[in-house]
Amino acid sequence: MSRSGLSVENGKKTTGTFRQVKDYFTLKEWEIIASVAIIASLIYIAGFPALLPGGSASAFAHGFLKMPGPGAGIVVASGYICFWMVLGALLIRKPGTALASLLFITVILNLVKLVYPIQTVGNLCDPFIVVLMIGMAVIIELTAGLPLEKAPWRYLFPSLAGILGIITLLLMVTGNAKMGEDGVAATFFPLGYAASGILGVGLAVICIAYPTAKYIAGAGFAQIFFIGFAWMFRGMTGFDGKSGFASWAPVPVAVPAVLTFSCVCGALMAGLAYGVCHLRNAYGINEPGPA
């Protein structure tokens, strides 16, 4: 076949693929995805982090909750994005909705960054963070497809959340709690340890009782993936003056607490999304997608 013939054939394939993606969601569903992304972006741009105790995600995690780091601050922001990804997925109930919602949010935030380069928007536009959030969306989607209502899958997330929660509580009561970006010994009551540990155990019980709430498990897994990969590879980008593999990781004794905090942030945000959808259904608003 001639070169021009190959170009025409490739053009047809590309056009066909684009049409399949475009037609996968109905116009109404695209409107919902766009609306979710716009609202999420506007709230974040308007100052969502400033509404947190401490005035920023980092100050909330390290200053108010006395969590160790690094990474506890950024998982608050990624947990916020989890809420909107899960909300979009629950509203439409089609595979790929969480990823589509994330991509729309990312595009909007990047466009805003071009004309309004505030730091909080810039953090979520960091290419490294965007790649990790795409990974989060994929994990949320994959978890939704698992038979979590059946053994042994039913006990996978509850076991992880429960064990992390118990370890975090044990670290607190034995005086091994850390605080701050540098992971120094806690000199104040480690509120984040207590809250994360108790909530981790509570999530384990809830997810055993309600295994069909798959997005709670998915968001928890996604947040653990996010912080784990950030610890391993973010330092290799030169971030925060670090260099080399795992150079951004916290002191070992702080790892379980930050993993628990990350898991709880994602799962709670997913739970909040379920609550929003429950209220929506309670007021009789019709769903656009299949049940």
Report if residue 46 sits inside a domain.
yes
Whole-model pTM: value is 0.88
Report if residue 15 sits inside a domain.
no
Report if residue 1 sits inside a domain.
no
Report if residue 288 sits inside a domain.
no
pLDDT band at 290 (very low <50, low <70, confident <90, very high): very low
Report if residue 10 sits inside a domain.
no
Report if residue 290 sits inside a domain.
no
pLDDT of the residue at 151: 86
What is the spatial distance between Cα 14 and Cα 11, in angstroms, rounded to a whole number?
A: 5
Token pair recorded at residue 236: 């290799």
Flag whether pLDDT at 26 surpasses 50: yes
| Cβ atoms of 214 and 142 closer than 8 Å | no
Number of domains present in the structure of the chain: 1
Report if residue 226 sits inside a domain.
yes
| Domain extent at residue 208 | 22-282
| 96-105, 110-119, 170-179, 244-253: segment of lowest average pLDDT | 110-119
Q: How many CB atoms lie within 10 A of CB 235?
A: 20
| 62-66, 117-121, 124-128, 209-213: segment of lowest average pLDDT | 117-121
Report if residue 7 sits inside a domain.
no
Sign of CA dihedral 189, 192, 197, 202: positive
| Cβ atoms of 33 and 100 closer than 8 Å | yes
